[in-house]
């Protein structure tokens, strides 16, 4: 008698759990739909004819996928010129940021120097500064040295830690985790700090450096505001600017606009799929330790 009651209770509990799990999955799938479906709709749109666009969801899938739209989109704007320009800026910004972030991180993590902790707080404070306050004077300064209209204002600051506060912080935390014994025994063996930095710290910190490089790549590739301010010469325009000019010139042609947008999104999406873990770990890091 008692056993059956327990059994029934157990069964109903199990069933209730199953029902909650099912409801939860339904909600989650609905949410996923909101986050992912726009991407699919983007692809469907890119493959439609102009006539199909006007029919809205009456034509849900393109009748015959117009793969040629991607080619057309690339021909409407000097796509490969913009791609080249984007790559020049992005590659140099990544190199510059990795350089300035790792050197500063080494100074903050492994060296004792006067005012170190005060500078560290200053560095954290720079993350909160509205960009406009320094944008106007730097714009004026670049004008003085004749850099306006060139790519230099986008590239040079990266080598001097521009926008690297978070990356310095991240790399520093990683460096702090490298055992003291390693660096100390290297010093006893007669190594100097440059050798320790290059031969011990950098090779050991590949995960941190990868994270920095990935985030910087994505930030620079997707950046619109910086190029908008500084790249006045259309020959230097990056893909983000090119996409905007596509909109102003061919605004009504949503199929081509979506095709062009997919092209610009593809590298970051692919990168994200291959390096998901690095990304998620990096993001977690921002919030918890910060």
Partner 1 sequence: MVKTSSVTKLKKQENYIGYLFASPWLIGLIVLGIFPIFMSLYFSFTNYNMISAPTWVGFTNYRILFTNDDLFWKSLGNTVYHVMIAVPLGIIVGIALALLLNSKVKGMSIYRTMFYLPNVVSVVAMTLLWLWLFQPNFGLINQLLSPFYKLFNLEPLGWYLDQNMSKMTLILMGLWTAGGSMVIYLAQMQDIPVTLYESAEIDGAGWFKKTIHITLPLMTPSIFFNFIMGLIGSFQVFTIAYIMTNGGPSRSTYYYAYYLFDKMMNDNAMGMASAMAWILLVMVLIVTIVALRLNKFVFYLGEET
Q: Which residue lies nearer to partner 1 by CB, 88 or 103?
A: 103
Question: Which segment (8-16, 27-35, 68-76, 203-211) binds partner 1 by CB under 8 A?
Answer: 27-35
Token readout for 260 is 């062009």
Q: Which residue lies nearer to partner 1 by CB, 122 or 176?
A: 122
Would you count residue 180 as binding partner 1 (CB under 8 A)? no
Q: Which residue lies nearer to partner 1 by CB, 6 or 111?
A: 111
Would you count residue 116 as binding partner 1 (CB under 8 A)? yes
| Residues counted in the chain | 290
Residues binding partner 1: number (CB under 8 A):
91
- Listed in order, strand segments (DSSP E) in the chain are none
8-state DSSP, 189: T
Using CB under 8 A as the binding rule, the residues of this chain from 62 to 81 that contact partner 1 are none
Token readout for 203 is 């090779």
Applying CB under 8 A, which of residues 5, 57, 121, 188 lies at the interface with partner 1? Answer: 57
Q: Which residue lies nearer to partner 1 by CB, 65 or 159?
A: 159
Using CB under 8 A as the binding rule, the residues of this chain from 119 to 148 that contact partner 1 are 119, 122-123, 126, 128-141, 143
Using CB under 8 A as the binding rule, the residues of this chain from 158 to 177 that contact partner 1 are 159-162, 164, 168
Question: Which segment (2-10, 65-73, 175-183, 271-279) binds partner 1 by CB under 8 A?
Answer: 271-279
Would you count residue 38 as binding partner 1 (CB under 8 A)? yes
Instruction: Name the phi and psi angles at 46, rounded to 5.
Output: -60, -25
CA angle in degrees (0–180, nearest 5) for 39-43-44: 115
- Crossing angle of the two packed helices 68-76 and 239-250, in degrees rounded to 10: 100
Q: Which residue lies nearer to partner 1 by CB, 125 or 182?
A: 125
Would you count residue 280 as binding partner 1 (CB under 8 A)? yes
Residue among 106, 97, 278, 107 at smallest CA distance from 202? 106
Residues contacting residue 78 through CB under 8 Å, at least 6 positions apart? 242
Q: Least Å distance between CB 1 and partner 1? A: 26
Q: How far apart are CA 65 and CA 111, in angstroms?
A: 60
Could you give the residue ranges of the DSSP H alpha helices within 116-224?
A: 116-126, 131-144, 152-159, 165-176, 180-188, 193-195, 202-204, 206-222
Using CB under 8 A as the binding rule, the residues of this chain from 186 to 215 that contact partner 1 are 193, 197
Would you count residue 244 as binding partner 1 (CB under 8 A)? yes
């Amino acid at each position: 008698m008692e056993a059956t009651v327990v059994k029934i209770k157990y069964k109903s509990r199990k069933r209730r759990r199953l029902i909650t799990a099912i409801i939860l999955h339904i909600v989650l799938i609905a949410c996923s739909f909101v986050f992912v479906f726009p991407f699919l709709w983007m692809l469907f749109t890119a493959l439609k004819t102009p006539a199909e666009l006007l029919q809205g969801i009456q034509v849900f899938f393109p009748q015959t996928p117009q793969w040629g739209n991607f080619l057309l989109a690339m021909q409407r704007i000097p796509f490969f010129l913009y791609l080249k320009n984007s790559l020049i800026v992005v590659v140099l910004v990544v190199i510059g940021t990795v350089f300035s972030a790792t050197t500063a991180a080494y100074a903050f993590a492994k060296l004792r120097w006067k005012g170190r902790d005060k500078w560290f707080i200053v560095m954290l404070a720079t993350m909160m500064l509205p960009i406009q306050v320094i944008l106007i004077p730097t714009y004026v300064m670049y004008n003085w040295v004749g850099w306006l209209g060139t790519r230099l204002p986008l590239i040079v600051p990266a080598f001097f830690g521009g926008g690297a506060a978070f990356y310095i912080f991240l790399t520093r935390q990683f460096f702090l985790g490298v055992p003291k014994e390693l660096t100390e025994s290297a010093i006893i063996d007669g190594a100097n700090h440059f050798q320790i930095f290059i031969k011990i710290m950098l090779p050991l910190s590949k995960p941190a450096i990868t994270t920095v490089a990935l985030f910087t790549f994505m930030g620079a590739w997707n950046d619109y505001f910086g190029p908008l301010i500084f790249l006045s010469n259309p020959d230097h325009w990056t893909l983000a600017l090119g996409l905007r000019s596509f909109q102003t010139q061919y605004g009504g042609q949503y199929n081509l606009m979506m095709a062009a947008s997919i092209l610009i999104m593809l590298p970051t999406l692919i990168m994200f799929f291959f390096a998901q873990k690095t990304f998620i770990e990096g993001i977690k890091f921002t919030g918890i330790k910060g």
